[in-house]
Every structure is written in C-alpha cells, then in structure tokens.
Amino acid sequence: MKKSIVTLGILLSTTAFIFGQEKQTTGTAKDSAKTNKTKDIEEVVVIAYGTQKKGEVTGSVGRVNAETFKDRPIARVDQALTGQIAGVKTRSTTGKPGEPLEIRVRGSASISASNSPLYVVDGMVVDDMANVSPDDVQSIEVLKDAASTAMYGSRGSNGIVIVTTKKGASGKPAFSFSQYYGVQTIEKKLDIMTSSEWIDYATEAINKKWEALAPGNSASDNYAVRANYFNLANTTDYNLANINYMIDPRWGTNQVANIDWQDVFYRPASVQSYQLSARGGNKNVKYLISGAYFDQEGLAINTGFKRFNLSAVIDLNISDKWKAGISFRPSYSKSYGATVDGKDNLAHKMLSMVPVAELGAGLYTNFWKNTRYRWAGSTQSPIGVMENTTNNTNEFRLLSSLYVSYDILPDLNIKISGGATNNFNLNNGYTPTFDLITNTPGQVSIASRRTVNYNRYLGEALLNYKKTFGDHSIAAIAGYSAENYRTTTQYNRNKGFPNDDLKTFNFTQSASVLNSEYTASEWMLISMFGRVNYDYKKKYMLLASIRRDGSSRFGWDNLWGIFPAFGAGWKVDKEDFLKDVSWLNNLKLRYSWGENGNNSIGDYRAFGTLGGGNYSFGGSLSNGLIPNTIENRNLTWEKTQSSDFGLELGLFNRIDFTADYYIKKTKDLLLEQPVAAVTGYTTMWSNVGSVQNKGLELELNTKNLIGEFRWNTSANIAFNKNKVLQLGSDNTPIYTGFSNSTNIIQVGQELNAFYLYEAIGVLSTADINNPNVAKTSGAIAGDVKYKDFNGDGVINEDDRHIIGGPTPDYYWGFTNTFSYKNFDLSVFFQGQKGGYSYALLGRAIDRTGMGTTTNVMGNWANRWRSDADPGDGKTPRLDGTTGSLLDTRWLYDATYIQLKNVTLGYNFPKDLVNRLKISSLRVYVSLENVWRKDHYYGGYNPESVQSDGTDYGAYPNAKVYMMGLNFNF
C-alpha cells in the first residue's frame, strides 16, 4: 500500500506536468507564478482565537470546505471529516441514527481520560457539534500540532476541531433551499445459520446425547420411540418433548415457521433533509437566518432520529470603531427505539434467536400469550420487544453568543464576548409486561424517567494587536477567559402498574420503586493566554504562545498549569535564488514544539467524597455518610509534549503536497490505579506513566486536467505508531477489555494490545493421544488447538500472549472529482491497513458447548464432526470443552477499503435559471457507503469497536441511495 500511494503521487504529478502545461512566454510564466504565490498567501484559515493567512501558518492545520460534503447525506458535522484530513481518524462505532463518530487526532494517548478532540463552534467551546446543521457550516479546521493547539492549554492535547459557520453578507436578501430524500438498506448481514443449517446442527447435538443416554439407542430412532422412552403419554404434544434427546419431527416441513430474523429486524428506511436560509444586509448590518429539518428512520424497526435546527447570526458595524454581533442556535432532537447495540441487547438477542418457530406464533414467538418454541431458548421475540418498547430521548440545545469589539487604536482592538450552552435532555422509557401467560398487563412493567440539565457559560476578553512596519509584521493577542459548567441529573425507575395502557412514568401508581436518584456536579476553568506572531518579508515566520489554566478538577496543590509553544516557518520559494522558478509556486519548511494538557476526567476525582452508608444505633440501622474515595491533593493535568516537522510544496500551480512528521509524548497519565487495601480504599486517581505517538502524514492535491473537462484529485494517508513508555513506578501491566481479559496495557506495547490464547486449529484424535501436543485439561478430539507459547507442554493461563492491537498501520482517503460543462462527478474512497478488531458479538454466538437453544454463526456448518470430516479446520466440535477461553478465533484483521461516496450532479444553465427567476439550480444523486471490502466476519462493521478494539454488536451501518436539489433565489 505504501508503494501504491507513492506511485499514485508520481503518476498524478506526471499527468499534470505532461498534459496540463499551457504554452507561455517566459515572462508570462513568471507573472503566473507570482500571481499564484500571492493567492496562496492570501488564503485564510481559522486558528485558535483568530485567523491567519495560509502562507504564514507555522503549525499543522487541516481544512475541509463545505463544498466537499454539501451533497452527502450526513446527519452530523463530524461525518464530514471522514477520510479528508491526514492524521484525523474517524470511526463509525455505531450506525444508530444521530450518534456521533469517534474522532482521534494523531492517535490515542490517554488511558482513563478522554481521547476526543476539543470542539469549537464560532469561538465557543462545545461538547460536540450536535447543535450545528451541516448546511450551516462554511469550513472545518483541525488543529493537529502543539503550536496550533496550545492556546487552548489544558484541553488541547487531543487536537482541536474548529467549525466556522456561514455569516451574513451585504446586498439584497438572498435565499437558498436544499433538500434530499434517500432510502437506506443494511450495509451487510451477519452470516448466521439458516433454518436448515440450524436443524442439521441441532439434530447432530441431540442425536449425540440420545446415543450416549443408554445402550442400544440409535440416531435413527424416531420421535415416538424416544417419547416412549420418557413415558410421554401424548407423543404429538411437542410442548412435552425432552429437547435434549428428542428431535422435532416437523423440522424441514411447512408445519413450522422458518424465519430469517435479520430480514425482519432490519428494514429499508428513509432519510430526508430540508434547509432554508436567508442572508443579506448592508455596510452596517449583516444577517443570516436559517432553519433545517432532518429525519432519519433507523434500519432496526421502530428506531429513528429527528432534528430541528434554527440559526440566527447578526453582525453590526455600530461605528468606525465599534462592532457587535449576536448568534442563537437552538435545536431540538428526538431519538427513539429500544437499545440495539451491546451485550445482551436486541441485536445480540435477535441474532441468537432459533430460526424456527411455531406457525401460530411466528415472529411473536414467546411473546404476549404465545408460548416459546420448545427447542428454543427463553428469549422473547425481538420483533415484539422492538415494536412495544418505549425509549424516547428528547433534547433541547441552545448555543448562544454575544460579542462587542472596539478599536482602541488603528492597530489595537479589544473584544469582549460571552456565550452559553444550555442543554435539557429528557428520556422516557417504558417496558410493558411481555409475558401474559404468567402475568397480567402492567404486573412486571417498568417505567423510567431521566432528566439531565447541562449549562456551560463562557466569558472572554481578548486584546488583538497587528502592526506592519516595512518588511516586518507583528500580530499579538492577550486574553482572559472564565468558564463554568454545571450538570444536574434526576433518575427514577419504578415497577408494577395497573395496566399497560398509559405507557408513561407515573410513580403514584407503581407497586415498587427501583431507583430514585439526584446528582449534581460543577467545575470551573480560568485561563490567561497570549500569543505573538512575527513575520519578516513574508519569508520568515515565528510564533510563541503561552497559556496558564486553573481547573477545579484537580487537587488543591496543583490547580494551575502552564502550557508554552513556539513555531517557525521558512518560505523557501521567496528566496532570491528561487523566486524566478516558474514551476515552483510554494516551498515552505516549518517546525513547531509545544505542550498541551488534558483535564477530561470526571468531576471531584481529586477529592475525598462521601457516599451513603448505614450505622447501627441501639440495635437499629440509621442512614448516614461514609468516605468512599481517597483524596489526592497533587492530582494534575496529563501533559503532552509534541514536535512537528512540516513540508509544503506546490508545483506547476497544479500540484500541492504536504508532509508532516510528529513525535508526541504524553506523561503524567490520569489513571485510576489500585491502592493498598490497608488504606480502606480500592483505587485512587493519580498521575502515572507515559505514552508515545509518532507518525507521518502525507497529503496530495492535484489538478490533473483543466479546461472544459476538469479532473482533480485529493489523497491523504497517515501512519501512526503508539507505544506505552511507562506505567507507574514498577510498570505493572493493566488488564482491560472484556472482563479485563482480552486486552493489556504494557510497557513497550501499544495501548490496549490484545492478550489472548492463540488458536492454531482443531485437535485430532492423534493429537489427543500424542503427549507431545500441548492441550488444555480434559481436552477431547475436536477441541480448539492452541499454541503452547511458553513451551511447557500444557495449555493454561501462561500461554496467553500479546497478538497485535487495535491501532491501524495507516489510514487513508482518496477523492477524485470530474466536471464537464454542467455535470460533475465525485468518487470518494477511504480505508485503513492493519490493526485488529475483537468480535465479542461473534464470540457470543460462536462458541463450542453452547447447546442448541440459540442460533450460531454460519461457520458452524463447517464444524469438526470427526477425524474423517474435520470441517474447515478452524471450527471445533459443537460439544467441545474450550468455550470459556478468549482466543484468537474472534480476532480479525481490521483492514478495509470502502467506496464511501459517489455523487453525480447537474447545474442547470444560466439562461434557464434566469427564466425561472432564481439564481442557481442544482440536482444530484448520491450513494453513501456504496461498497466495502473487509475481513470482518464476527460483526457488522470493522470500525464499530470500542477504544480497546472490542465489538459487542454495534448497530449496523446503512447504504444510502438519495436524490437532492439545491437552488438559490
């Protein structure tokens, strides 16, 4: 893959050079080079607390313009980053409508604190970007290196995502409308046994038990023979059958229902979006007002997400010196549907449903008054549960801000701003009584209600100084900010109601209270910061910044942290010896160093807190409080020091290439580590250990063909190596993952490396009889064969070892855009190479010894049956002894390549548009998640894993087929 990327770059560069050169005189070429160099300098990017011309930036800043995603069916702004910027890794950990992506900038470094970047919308720090409609976005910048992020001090270690929204403009009112409608289908189904395969699987298991039950028993004995053995009076009442030894004689006939549960659980679903905006103004007032509606049905029945967005942005020129602005962004969203993702939730239960049921019950087997199918487990119909469970989350968000700006001097400005984020979240849940055979309606029903109020307030004062004198330019800022965060949560859950008619929380009618909780938390951040940028002749750039933060989340002795950074840039192409080279339009070298922090832990972790407890007074219990956490007055920031070496190269005004090499070391990791039991506590939050990330990022943008037919290419690739350098004073490994048994954090390895038994095949009878073949205790022929890692001749706990980790070797994005006259076509691929995913969902329905009352993965059709019929050589016998071991049978290479999006658009001719009394009209078709090639058998999506690389049944992703139109008037 590395070779192919290099080859691609050479090919595109050569294509541009050979086919794209226009005949020019020498003087014209020089003038053209000069013009394009000026254009490069003038392009503006958004950085921390301001903007900067691209040619003057000394840090590593990635940018995504709204044009790249305006025709894609994305529900959230973060989806626009996928595959667009080198070093920015996004993962769709769930396909559930409305859920955010996981974003990592230059790898993960923290063990217990957050690894997510900081999000900033128009200068306001926010928790995520749910408030913002993708249609309102002008651009997204990602600050990757320390020199760019250090201005956010204690929160910049994981990178910063800055969203800039559209603003008003001078002129008469202009309106824009955009709309699309699409149909979603499941990206891929999981391979589980069909009804015929399961019948064969269950028949083998039951016959084995029958033959072993008594001498003379034969697999050919029919149902009546076996019924007589158990003295069953009615041999046709299948509800009396002993399922361990008796086979349903109706199997393989139309007397039972044969069900593909995935086909009925997941459905084609619609997605639609509408947005209308108005903008205009004059030299004194500029405004933009927009409204958007987004509605996405979920692939799983009775799930979905709806969102309403409003946005109002007004900027005022009060006088020559005074400016002001105000913005309001209210949004309301509703998500609904029972929980699909995760262990023992509905995707897991649905996949494990036996694909056979009684005809009379069908999809509603073991639900309401339908008894369960005798040969199935006790799981209730997932279709019935999905259709009748209430789980609605309604959220109102308001992002508002206000600023006033005054020019003290021509080169000195002060800006005072304030903002607030106010969220109100309400979740109502109701699970009715599904079993009406042994219960009455409402008898065991559960109702719940959770409310979360979140309020975040920010006040800032910013001095901005800019001065140019001769060949020298200085831009400096100094600022002060204060932020306050407060969250309150109330949760109630009650059981038992008179009936199931109302389906809402009503504590006055419930039989018992299961939960009644109220919590509140608050924290503050106070900051002082400054930055100076110096530029000499537009050739030599220097940056220095410093920030001092005080966070209430840390110990009293370590509230404050100082975070410095500096950067330098050299525009080599501006030197006299290169300025007349017409084919070189940009050559810049840059270096940056800085230190950032991370305070993304829960509140009050540094303090000794109290919890509820009981005391005995006079022989009776009394409620009281007892200490439940230990204080650490020295708890402080995780600190990340990073260096970045950058190269920017522009050739022939057609090729732009960027390379960054970085080394990022995180120390004083925030970690909840065990403490001696003699203290009376089990854990304490401490600063221990360090982790290193280092990597290479490459970006290439080319104009391959120009003229009437145009072809542009954008490609990026990022390599990152993650390694744990230290863990406390004695480097004791930390076990993580499923039951703390699948992953390990160990010095010298990447974070959350997989620590497993290594499966190498299936034991034969000869292996069982061979004392030189290592085996587990009690192993039988057909069991999983494991690698004897320590060579002691026995398979036990000591043979678990590290086998790779979740971090990919590299990840990439590749986009080609073509246009001819009024038509345009965009084709976007993305993917990754290397890394592993651990399919806990696959393991949950893919273990030996599970019995026959659940369905299993399709590979069990090729299981070991005997030495003469060993199956695929990897799947063991169905009644083996190693089902409890966590091994590599469920570890998958996470490499994948995906055709993420194809969009074909048409812009109507101007003369037609003018006759329609509008300024532009565009129609398009777009396909999202078109095709994927991967090695992931045990789950729906190799991206849908947790931070430790494990997946326990995430909601599948959708293919989307859509049509849309945009017009302005």
Mean pLDDT value across the chain: 91
Tell me whether strands 584-598 and 638-651 are parallel, antiparallel or unpaired: antiparallel
> pLDDT at position 29, please?
40
Report how far apart, in Å, the C-alpha atoms of 864 and of each of 267, 601, 869, 878 are: 35, 49, 6, 8
> pLDDT at position 893, please?
96
Poorest-pLDDT segment among 97-111, 624-638, 765-779, 822-836: 624-638
Poorest-pLDDT segment among 241-255, 461-475, 681-695: 681-695
- Mind listing the pLDDT tens digit for each residue in 367-384? 999 999 999 999 999 999
> pLDDT at position 963, please?
97
Other Cβ atoms within 10 Å of 624 Cβ, number? 11
* Geometric angle at alpha carbon 455, from 454 and 458, rounded to 5°: 145
Q: How many residues does the chain have?
A: 969
> pLDDT at position 36, please?
47
| 8 A C-beta contact, residue 124 and residue 457 | no
Residue 73's pLDDT band (boundaries 50, 70, 90)?
confident
Torsions phi, psi for 39 (to 5 deg): -60, -40
Residue 302's pLDDT band (boundaries 50, 70, 90)?
very high
Give residues with Cβ within 8 angstroms of 186, minimum separation 6: 262, 266, 299, 956, 958, 959
The whole-angstrom separation of Cα 663 and Cα 509 is: 61
Q: Residue 260: helix, strand or coil by DSSP?
A: coil
Asked whether residue 142 carries a pLDDT value surpassing 70, the answer given is yes
Burial 378-407 (b: 16+ CB within 10 A, else e): ebbbbbbbbebbbbebebebbbbbebbbee
Asked whether residue 494 carries a pLDDT value surpassing 90, the answer given is yes
Residue 613's pLDDT band (boundaries 50, 70, 90)?
confident
Asked whether residue 814 carries a pLDDT value surpassing 60, the answer given is yes
- Mind listing the pLDDT tens digit for each residue in 531-547? 999 999 999 999 999 99
Asked whether residue 902 carries a pLDDT value surpassing 50, the answer given is yes
Asked whether residue 101 carries a pLDDT value surpassing 70, the answer given is yes
Start-to-end C-alpha separation, the chain: 47
Residue 42's pLDDT band (boundaries 50, 70, 90)?
low
Report how far apart, in Å, the C-alpha atoms of 814 and of each of 63, 219, 751 are: 15, 58, 28
Asked whether residue 852 carries a pLDDT value surpassing 50, the answer given is yes
| 8 A C-beta contact, residue 173 and residue 277 | no
Mean pLDDT within 561-589: 94
- Which residue is it, tokens 């019929």? 869
Torsions phi, psi for 467 (to 5 deg): -150, 135
Asked whether residue 17 carries a pLDDT value surpassing 60, the answer given is no
> pLDDT at position 41, please?
44
Single-letter residue type at 84:
Q
Mean pLDDT within 827-836: 96
Sign of CA dihedral 87, 92, 93, 97: positive
Residue 388's pLDDT band (boundaries 50, 70, 90)?
very high
Torsions phi, psi for 228 (to 5 deg): -65, -35
DSSP line for 63-89: EEEGGGTTTS--SSGGGGGTTTSTTEE
Q: In what order do the strands lie in the sheet with 801-802?
A: 734-736, 743-745, 753-756, 801-802
Residue 6's pLDDT band (boundaries 50, 70, 90)?
very low
Give residues with Cβ within 8 angstroms of 158, minimum separation 6: 104, 105, 109, 110, 114, 115, 116, 117, 118, 598, 600
DSSP line for 402-438: EEEEEEEETTEEEEEEEEEEEEEEEEEEEE---BTTT
The whole-angstrom separation of Cα 81 and Cα 70 is: 13
The whole-angstrom separation of Cα 750 and Cα 730 is: 18
- Mind listing the pLDDT tens digit for each residue in 172-191? 999 999 999 999 999 999 99
Asked whether residue 619 carries a pLDDT value surpassing 80, the answer given is no
Asked whether residue 10 carries a pLDDT value surpassing 50, the answer given is no
| 8 A C-beta contact, residue 301 and residue 386 | yes
Residue 667's pLDDT band (boundaries 50, 70, 90)?
very high
Nearest partner of 105 among 156, 30, 176, judged by Cα: 156
- Mind listing the pLDDT tens digit for each residue in 754-788? 999 999 999 999 999 999 999 999 999 999 999 99
